[in-house]
Structure 1
Amino acid sequence: MYSYEERLRAVQLFLRTGKNCKVTIRQLGYPTKNALKAWCVDFEQNGDVLKRYQRTKPKYSEEQKKTAVSHFMANGRCIAATIRSLGYPSRQKLSDWVCELYPEAKQRVVGKVRREAASLAFKRAAVFELCTRNESAQVLAEKLDVDRVTLYNWKKQLLGKEDAASMKHDKGSHADSNRLELEKQIQELQRDIRDLKLEHDLLKKANELLKKDLGVDLQILCNSEKTMLIDALREEYDLTELLKKLDMPRSSYFYHRSPSRVGDKYAEVRNTLAEVFEDNHHSYGYRRLKAALGRERVFLSEKVVRRLMKQGGLKAARPKKRRYASYVGEVSPAPENLINRDFTATAPNEKWLTDISEFQIPAGKVYLSPMIDCFDGMVISWSISTSPDAELVNGMLDAAIETVTDAKNTIIHSDRGGHYRWPGWLTRVSKANLTRSMSRKACSPDNAACEGFFGRLKTEMFYPKDWRSTSVEEFIAKLDAYIRWYNEKRIKSSLGYLSPIEYRESLGFLT
C-alpha cells in the first residue's frame, strides 16, 4: 500500500509528463499502470487523491454465512453438497467459515462423500436401461443415483463409440431409421457444397485482391495475404472454417490483422523525427537522433528509431571515398611533432589544430581556415575567403589569440604548408607565446582531428547539396552558419550528447 505522499507525487508527475505512464513509472519505480490511472481519476474528480480507500461491502452477509455452515454440519459435512444446494460460496471460503465457527471440526472438513466403485454388473444394467429407456437420461441418472455423464461414459466403455451410437432406443419404425439415414446424407452433401463454395470464394477473392491466378494453391499464400482473404469473407463465413480451410493459426491471423485496424502510434514521432533530421543538415544517424528526441521528452529505443528512419527515407550523409594524395617538397626546417597523434586535452586551450580546406562550387572557389580545440572539438575561431593567402590564416590566428588571456602553455599544431612558415605567422605565434608543432611531411593522420572536422563538414553540409545556383557570397554565409550551428547545437556522443558550447557551460568554463 502506498502512502498519501507517494500517490500525490505520482499523480503530479503523471500530469506534468502529459499523462505518460511509462515515463512516470520509469522515474518513480512505482506504481502499476492501472493504479496510476485510478489515482489520476480520483485527483481530477476530487481535487486530491484519497487518503484511504473505503472497504467494499462484504459479498456474503452473516446470515448467509451461518446458513451455509449449518447446512454443512447437518448434511454429512460435505462441501460439494452444500455448494450444490445453496449455490454459494467457494470451497475455500466455506472451509474458512467452518474453521471460524467450529474450530474443532477443522480436521474433519472434506470435499465429497466417497462412494464405492460401481460393479460391472451394475454398469451393464445401467447401460441397458439407458439404451432402452422411455424417459430422459437425466431422470434415469437420478433414479440410479449417478451422474448423467457417468452413464454415457459407461456406455462408451462397454459398447464402444460406433456401437454406442447405433444402439439407440427405438421410438419408431424401420422407416424412421431410413429417414434419419437420408437426413444424415443430406447434411453431408450440404457440408460438401458449402466447402466447395468456400474454396471458390477464396480463389475468387485471391484473384480480385491479390491478383493471383484462379488456380492458385491457397496454402502457399503468406499469412498477411491469408488475413486479407479472411477479412473479405468474414461476413459470409465463420472465422473457424476460414482458418481451417487456409490452414492458418488463429494467433497468426490476429497478429497480422491488428496493425491494419490500429492507427500508427508513431505518427507524431515520425514528424518530429523528420524535423530534427532536417534541422540538423541531414547529419544525424540513429544514435544522435535518439538522443535528440530524448531531449524533447520523446523516448524510443535505437531499433525503433532505425526502423522509422528507414521507413521515412531518412539517410544520414556519409563521407565519400577519396584517393590518397601525398605531400611532396620541403622548403625549410620544421618544429617537432609535439602532438604525436594524441588529440586529447584535459582543459580548453591546451592543444590547437589548424589547416586549410578548399570548397569548389560553380561560382568559384572558397577557402576555410579554422582553429580546433582538442578539448571538445570546438571551432574557437575561423576565417573564410576566396583566396588562400596570408590574411586567411593570420586573421584566424588573431581571433583565436583574443579568446585566451595566457597562451603560454598552448600548443598550436599544423601541417608543413607555407602559410605556417611565413614571417607574419611566426611573429604572431612568438608574441602570443604559443608552442609550434607540425606534422610529418606527407602524413595527414598526424593532423587527423582537424581533417576529421573537414570531413564531417563536407559530408553533412557540402556534398549532399546542389550549389549550381549559389553565389560565392551565399555559400560563405551558409558555411559560416554551419560552423556556428556546429559549436552551439550539434550534439556529440563523446560529450554526452551535448554540443561543444553546452558541454563547456555544464563544466563552468562558459557563463
Structure 2
Amino acid sequence: MSERRRKFSPQFKAEAVQMVLETGRPIAEVARDLGINEGTLGNWVNVWRRENPEPEPELTPVERVRVKEMEDEIRRLRMENEFLKKSSGLLRPDAPVAERCALIQAEKATYPIAFMCALLGVPRSTYYAWAERAAGPQTATAARRAMLAEQIQLEFTASRSTSGCRRIAAALNQRGIDASVGLVADLMRELGLRAVQPRAYKRTTVPGEQPVPAADLLGRDFTAAAPGQRLVGDITYLRTGQGWLYLAVVLDLATRMVVGWQLAPHMRTSLVTDALTMAIDAGHVQPDAIFHSDRGTQYTSAEFAAFTEAHRIRRSLGRTGVCWDNAAAESFFATLKNEMYHRHIFPTRAKARFAVAEYIEVFYNRKRLHSTLGYRTPFQALTDYRATAPAAA
C-alpha cells in the first residue's frame, strides 16, 4: 500500500512552530515528537520569523545583568514549582524521611541534591547517610526490586503521572525488562505512585432541532479493519480565563489516533468541518468512510451534510442523549481532561490551545500506550498497519 504524501493544515503548522518558539526546544527534538521532517519544521519556523520580525533593543551593561538575574530567578522558581508539583504527587504529606530520601535519590539526575533536600526538609547529612546504607550489600531480589523501582519511577514520570500498573508493566516489557503487573503494583505502592483519577462524566451535547434521516452505522462496534474506514467525532468545552474554548476531534477507530482536530471560541459547524478537513488533508480518510457522531446541532446541520457528501463520507448518528453510542470519542475527551486539562489552569485561550496541541500531537498520538491497541501508541498502530499492508495485499 503506497503511502500518500502528507499534507499539513495551516493550524498544524502554526502549532508546531509555536512549540519551538514557546518551549525553546531544538527544532530536531520537536520534529521528532511530531513525527515530521526536521527540515520541514525548520522551514516553517524560518517563514514565521521572516513574517514576524522582532527587533531587539540594545541593553546597557546594567540592564543585561538585571535581565540575567531575572532569568536565573525565573529558572529557579520554575524548577522549584516543577519539583514541588512532582513531589506532591509522589509523597504523602506525612511521608517519612526514608521516602523523601528515596525521592531525592530517584531525581538526583534531574535536580541538585542540595536543592531537593532544602525543599523536602531533609538535612543533607541525613540523605547521604541514607544513601550510603541503601548502597550497601543487597540480595539478588532486593537489587532487582531496586532496579525495577527506578525504572517504574522513570516510566511514571514519562507518562506524566497518567500510567497505572498495567500500562507501566507493558512499557517495561516492551523495553525488555520483565515485570509482572502484580510486582509493578506492589512497587508503585511502595513508591507512593498513583495515576491521576478520572472525574465524573457530564453531558454537553446540544441536540439538533430537526430530525435527521441518518442511521447508526456502527451500532457501538468501535473497531475497524483498516485506518481511514471508520471515524468518530465529537465536541467538548474547555474553560479558560478568557472564556470558553471548544475542541472538535476526529478519531480513527483502527488506530485510536486523533487524525483531525480544531479549537475555536465558537461552536459553529465550521468547527467540526475544519477538524474533518485536517484529517482529509493528511490522508487519514478513505473514500466512503463512515463518520460517526452524536446528534449535536453541528453534525445534523445541512452544511455538514453537504460537506460529507462532497467528500464521499457516510454519516452515522447515535441516539440523542445516549453517550454510549459514541463511547470512543467520549472516552478520548475523558482521557484528555483527566490527564491534562483538569491538572492546569489556563488564563488565556492561547495557553489552552498550546496545551491541547502538545497533548494530542506529542503525548497522546505518539507516546501514550493504549490498552485497546495491545499497549501500543496510536502512531505505532498506524505504522504497524502500513508495514504489514503491502504484504497482506
TM bin, normalised by shorter chain, reads 0.5 to 0.7
Q: Quick check: 1:504 aligned with 2:353?
A: no
Q: Out of 310, 317, 325, which is 1:446 matched to?
A: 325
Q: Quick check: 1:339 aligned with 2:210?
A: no
> How far, CA to CA, are the matches of 1:405 and 1:393 in structure 2?
16
Matches within 5 A, 1:273-352: 273-322=152-201, 330-352=209-231
Q: Which secondary structure does the structure 1 equivalent of 2:231 belong to?
A: strand
Ranges in structure 1 where 5+ consecutive residues have no aligned partner: 1-259
Q: Is the 8 A contact 1:407 1:432 kept in 2?
A: no
Q: Is the 8 A contact 1:412 1:434 kept in 2?
A: yes
Q: Is the 8 A contact 2:206 2:296 kept in 1?
A: no
1:96 equivalent in structure 2: none
Q: Which secondary structure does the structure 1 equivalent of 2:365 belong to?
A: helix
> How far, CA to CA, are the matches of 1:488 and 1:413 in structure 2?
24
Q: Which secondary structure does the structure 2 equivalent of 1:365 belong to?
A: strand
Matches within 5 A, 1:347-358: 347-358=226-237
1:466–1:273 CA distance, 2 compared to 1 (3 A): same
Instruction: After TM superposition, give the deviation of residue 281 of structure 1 in Å.
Output: 2.3
Q: Is the 8 A contact 1:353 1:371 kept in 2?
A: yes
State the Cα deviation string for residues 65-91 of structure 1 (Å, max 9, x = none): xxxxxxxxxxxxxxxxxxxxxxxxxxx
Total equivalences in the alignment: 252
Q: Out of 253, 256, 263, which is 1:377 matched to?
A: 256
Q: Normalising by the residue count of structure 1, what TM-score does the alignment of the two structures yield?
A: 0.45
2:358 equivalent in structure 1: 481
> How far, CA to CA, are the matches of 1:296 and 1:329 in structure 2?
49
Q: Which secondary structure does the structure 2 equivalent of 1:488 belong to?
A: coil
1:287–1:325 CA distance, 2 compared to 1 (3 A): same
Instruction: After TM superposition, give the deviation of residue 334 of structure 1 in Å.
Output: 3.5
> How far, CA to CA, are the matches of 2:284 and 2:190 in structure 1?
51
Q: Which secondary structure does the structure 2 equivalent of 1:381 belong to?
A: strand
Q: Normalising by the residue count of structure 2, what TM-score does the alignment of the two structures yield?
A: 0.58
Instruction: After TM superposition, give the deviation of residue 453 of structure 1 in Å.
Output: 0.9
For 1:454, the aligned partner's letter is F
> How far, CA to CA, are the matches of 2:259 and 2:306 in structure 1?
21
1:344–1:389 CA distance, 2 compared to 1 (3 A): same
For 2:369, the aligned partner's letter is I
1:495 equivalent in structure 2: 373
Q: Is the 8 A contact 2:247 2:262 kept in 1?
A: yes
Q: Is the 8 A contact 1:290 1:300 kept in 2?
A: yes
> How far, CA to CA, are the matches of 1:459 and 1:444 in structure 2?
18
Matches within 5 A, 1:181-220: none
Q: Is the 8 A contact 2:227 2:284 kept in 1?
A: no
> How far, CA to CA, are the matches of 2:352 and 2:204 in structure 1?
26
Backbone CA RMSD of aligned residues: 2.8
For 1:467, the aligned partner's letter is I
> How far, CA to CA, are the matches of 1:384 and 1:444 in structure 2?
22
Instruction: After TM superposition, give the deviation of residue 488 of structure 1 in Å.
Output: 1.2
Q: Is the 8 A contact 1:277 1:289 kept in 2?
A: yes
Q: Is the 8 A contact 1:327 1:442 kept in 2?
A: no
Aligned identity (percent) is 29
Q: Out of 471, 486, 491, which is 2:348 matched to?
A: 471
2:311 equivalent in structure 1: 432
Q: Which secondary structure does the structure 1 equivalent of 2:298 belong to?
A: helix
Q: Is the 8 A contact 1:327 1:443 kept in 2?
A: no
Q: Is the 8 A contact 2:206 2:297 kept in 1?
A: no
For 1:473, the aligned partner's letter is A
Q: Is the 8 A contact 2:233 2:249 kept in 1?
A: yes
